[in-house]
Amino acid sequence: MARIASLILMPVLSSVALMAGDYDAVIGAMKKAWPQVETVAVVCDSNGSKASLGALTGAAGGLKVVVVDVKGPQDMGKAIATLTGRKPDAVILLAGDKVAGDGSSAASFLIQRMAAIKIPTAATSEAGVKQGAALGIGPGTGGKLMSNAKVAAVAGVAVPAGATAL
């Protein structure tokens, strides 16, 4: 029985390590492009995104991470109000989140509202950058640093040096 448990546990641990690497890249790019960032926020279904949240907080090294828990799109208005009050320096999208993950309408709503109040959004996928994240790097970008210059300008942040513009 112990052998079966270890065979099952190894892929789970490997996937967490891979996710941590995804967030290491986006946190590193964000710190380099936007050195003023001290607090990042994440809007997600915290129960459904426990592994991703753990990986992100592990990669955040020195940054304060604020988690705004949402259970569905109906909670996005409250999430925006919370973020407006807390004023994080940036928001990070969790690619696999079922509510506000990259590509979702809730993520688009979040990105637009945050840019309007000068809070940039970062993603780990090209889909996130296409929908308005100011920067993106990770497996969903093929490891390339990408930027949405139009949204970066609205949010009042620099386009990361060497980023591919979308």
Q: Which CATH number fits domain 2-165: 3.40.50.2300, 3.40.50.720, 3.40.50.300, 3.40.30.10?
A: 3.40.50.2300
Predicted pLDDT at 95: 86
Q: Which secondary structure element, helix H or strand E, spans residue 128, and what is its range?
A: helix 126-130
Domain boundaries, the chain: 2-165
Predicted pLDDT at 66: 97
Predicted pLDDT at 129: 96
Model-level pTM? 0.86
The residue assigned the tokens 């994080």 is 88
> Could you say which residues of the chain have pLDDT below 50?
1-18
Predicted pLDDT at 12: 40
Cross-strand bridge partners of residue 66 = 41
Distance between CA 46 and CA 81 in Å, rounded? 18
